[in-house]
Amino acid sequence: MNDLRVYAGAFQAYAQEHGDWPPGGTPPGTFPPGMEGYLSQTNWERITPIGGYYQFATQSPQGGGRYAAVIIIASVGANRVSSDSIQLSDIDRKFDDGNLSTGNFFLGYRNYPVFVMEH
């Protein structure tokens, strides 16, 4: 799951250079437009280690709040993201505060993991 840190770094690099986040609105597993040169397309489009696909989203409503820029790990069809609370909590402990309801890593829409880059 170190991918998330790498991807977040790439998006932040883009934001620093362009003064804003790249446009959202792409489906999970689809390479975000404008991220060429910042992000490996092959890595982004592959299935994540916990199932599902990565999705970059802006102004995303999640868990009752709205976030300016997030990376979501979302299920697509039969490719489901893990719902194992032990596994997800373990990731949260490594990334964040260990609580799947709070912090920068939490469960949002449909309990998909959300990594917040900007609130």
Instruction: Rule CB under 8 A: say whether 108 interacts with another protein.
Output: yes
Q: Which stretch binds another protein (CB under 8 A): 10-18, 39-47, 56-64, 90-98?
A: 56-64
> Beta strand pairing status for 105-107 and 65-74?
unpaired
C-beta of residue 17 within 8 angstroms of C-beta of residue 80: no
| Interface characters, 2-41, with another protein (x: CB under 8 A) | ---------------------xxxxxx-------------
DSSP state for residue 32 in the 8-state scheme:
P
- The 3-class secondary structure across 41-74, one letter per residue, is HHHHCCCCCCCCEEEEEEEEEECCEEEEEEEEEE
Our finding on whether 98 is near another protein (CB under 8 A) is no
Q: Which residue number, 19 or 64, has a Cβ lying nearer to another protein?
A: 64
Q: Which of 5, 34, 43, 109 binds another protein (CB under 8 A)?
A: 109
